[in-house]
Amino acid sequence: MEPFEDENVPLYTVGQVADMLSLKQAFLRRIDELQVVSPQRSAGRQRRYTRVEIRIIQQVASMADEGMTMAAIRRIIELEQQLAEVVGQRDELAARLSEVSSERLRLAHQLASLLGRAGQMQRPADRPDAD
CATH code of 53's domain = 1.10.1660.10
What does pTM read for this prediction?
A: 0.69
Residues 91 and 30 grouped into a single domain: no
Whether 131 is in a domain gets the answer no
Q: How many domains does the chain have?
A: 2
Q: Mean per-residue pLDDT for 32-41?
A: 90
Q: Tell me what the pLDDT averaged over the chain comes to.
A: 90
> Structural domain of residue 49, as residue ranges?
1-68
- pLDDT tens across 37-47, in order? 989 998 888 99
- Is 90 exceeded by the pLDDT of residue 2? no
Residues 6 or more apart in contact with residue 51 via CB below 8 angstroms: 7, 8, 11, 12
Quick check: 53 and 37 in contact, CB under 8 A? yes
Q: Are residues 45 and 102 in the same domain?
A: no
Same domain, 56 and 2: yes
Same domain, 118 and 58: no
4 and 35 both lie in a single domain? yes
What's the confidence (pLDDT) of residue 117?
85
Determine the Cα–Cα distance for residues 79 and 77; give it in Å rounded to an integer. 5
Amino acid at 112: A
96 and 112 housed in the same domain: yes
Query: Are residues 64 and 87 located together in one domain of the fold?
Result: no
